[in-house]
Structure 1
Amino acid sequence: MRPATLCYPPNPDYGSGACRRLVQITCGNGVVDAYLSDTFHEMRCRVRHDGEVVTAIEGETIRIPTTACPAAITVLQDLVGARLDLPGRAFYSGGRARRHCTHLFDLAVFAIQHGRQAEGSCRYDAIVPDEIDSPVAITIRRNDIEIHRWLIQDATILHPPSLRGKTLDKGFAAWATLHFADAALEAATLLARTWLIAVGRRYLVEQAAGHPITRNAEMAGRCFAYAPENAQAATFTSGSIATQPTL
């Protein structure tokens, strides 16, 4: 769920921009490389496999919001041995994702599922405009072809009619797995994640650099960085914001 309140000062320019996320996945020779860049994060993941299971996994954090984030790479080793044909929802059962960096874990899951392809690549581009009082259209493209365009307001889809009333917040995965499959589900998940992080555009995040991340009380326990044992000594970083995520 989106946090209702974060500890940063308000962004006076909110309403004039958008949150963006780019994901690139490349497969070949028993290796899947996945790259993510968005308004607040940049990271990579490499999955090696034998055609059936994950044999090795690596991660790299390039641009991240807290000093605790890089250590989440070590937790990725939990995914070694995972089957490439494991349904996406199986990775998230039992609150497993909360032990990881949310975004690095998502990237690793996408990479694992793409391991079923012999070779090839794809690129996703998601855009979530700032929400003020009126509905906004959020979109995601796969290899420059639009996959989803949802008119939303207050975390709820208004259009298309087939999804009217569905929420992007709590319960998203439950209904999304019933409506979508394969690339359409992957794109829907990425678009919902982009909406989730877009709340950060409401704030001047950079002004919190150097301060303890425990100030974000609503984030406690939501991910690796905000686990009590990691958050206590962590601070916000500077230089994590990008106006236009690119490869």
Structure 2
Amino acid sequence: MTEVEAELNRFPKSTCPAAADVLTELRGLPISADRRDLFSDGRAGRNCTHLLDMGLLALRLTDRGDGETVFDVAIPDVVDGRTELTAWVNGAVFHHWTLTGDTITAPEKIAGTNVFGGFASWAEARFDGVALDAARVAQKSVFVSKGLAYKVDGVPQVRAINETHRHGQCHSFSWPSVEVATDNVGYVIDTTAGIDEPNIERATRN
């Protein structure tokens, strides 16, 4: 890898855009680098973990010689503690899971799997190729969907330095960013009344 470029258009903390510069430390890694290569040596704390996830995905697609690849994930609102997750790759369904809390309860062959603790290693042992990529994207989508339960872009702005339970988890919650990072007000897109932004329309076409 000889060059790395990243851009953040929507982000939760005021310091997140600076993570694009930190990501350049990936220069020099082989395109065959795996998850452990990217997330080792404290990189997860220095970087935006979402950018690292996208970097890993880009490396895997490049290493395989894949062309343009479209990942779509749908996670409806949770009802009675349950929801259904569907993940598509280029329009084809690769994963369909019933989720109860953080646990996959269907299909039966993977029931009981937690989508957080230990998921990455579990997925690597069970899937490969695009199916593994889709599983990773699906799991990260579950993480992002958890934000629906919180007001994360309102006022008063929360200062990262006061969220001590998150210190060290990513770029904005590590020093020196954590000392100045605050909530980015207004970045959340509310689609309750429908979708009116072209850049997110594709994600719900299925």
TM-score by length of 1: 0.72
Amino acid at match of 1:143: N
Amino acid at match of 1:137: E
Kept after mapping to 1: 8 A contact 2:39/2:52: no
Range with bigger deviation, 81-90 or 217-226: 81-90
User: Residue 29 of structure 2 aligns to a residue in which SS?
Assistant: coil
Seen in structure 2, the aligned counterparts of structure 1 residues 225 and 136 have a Cα distance that, compared at 3 Å, is same
**Which of 48, 56, 67 is the matching residue for 2:14?**
67
Query: Which residue of structure 1 lines up, in the alignment, with residue 180 of structure 2?
Result: 233
Query: Which residue of structure 1 lines up, in the alignment, with residue 24 of structure 2?
Result: 77
User: Residue 145 of structure 2 aligns to a residue in which SS?
Assistant: helix
Range with bigger deviation, 223-232 or 113-122: 113-122
Map 1:30-109; keep pairs closer than 5 Å.
54-109=1-56
Counterpart Cα distance in 2 of 1:152 and 1:94? 33
C-alpha offsets along residues 169-189 of structure 1, whole Å, 9 cap, x if unaligned? 111111111011111111000
Displacement of 1:94: 4.8
Structure (1 or 2) with the greater helix fraction: 2
Q: Does 1:133 align with 2:80?
A: yes
Aligned length: 194
Seen in structure 2, the aligned counterparts of structure 1 residues 184 and 119 have a Cα distance that, compared at 3 Å, is closer
Amino acid at match of 1:151: T
Displacement of 1:87: 2.7
Question: Unmatched 5+ residue regions in structure 2?
Answer: none
Counterpart Cα distance in 2 of 1:89 and 1:139? 27
User: Residue 86 of structure 1 aligns to a residue in which SS?
Assistant: coil
Amino acid at match of 1:126: V
Task: State percent identity of aligned pairs.
Answer: 29
Higher relative contact order (CA 8 A, sep 6+): 1
Kept after mapping to 2: 8 A contact 1:221/1:227: yes
Seen in structure 2, the aligned counterparts of structure 1 residues 246 and 213 have a Cα distance that, compared at 3 Å, is farther
Amino acid at match of 1:174: S
Question: Unmatched 5+ residue regions in structure 1?
Answer: 1-53
Compute the RMSD of aligned alpha carbons. 1.9
Kept after mapping to 2: 8 A contact 1:138/1:151: yes
Query: Which residue of structure 1 lines up, in the alignment, with residue 161 of structure 2?
Result: 214
Query: Which residue of structure 1 lines up, in the alignment, with residue 91 of structure 2?
Result: 144
Displacement of 1:193: 0.6
Counterpart Cα distance in 2 of 1:239 and 1:233? 18
User: Residue 146 of structure 2 aligns to a residue in which SS?
Assistant: helix
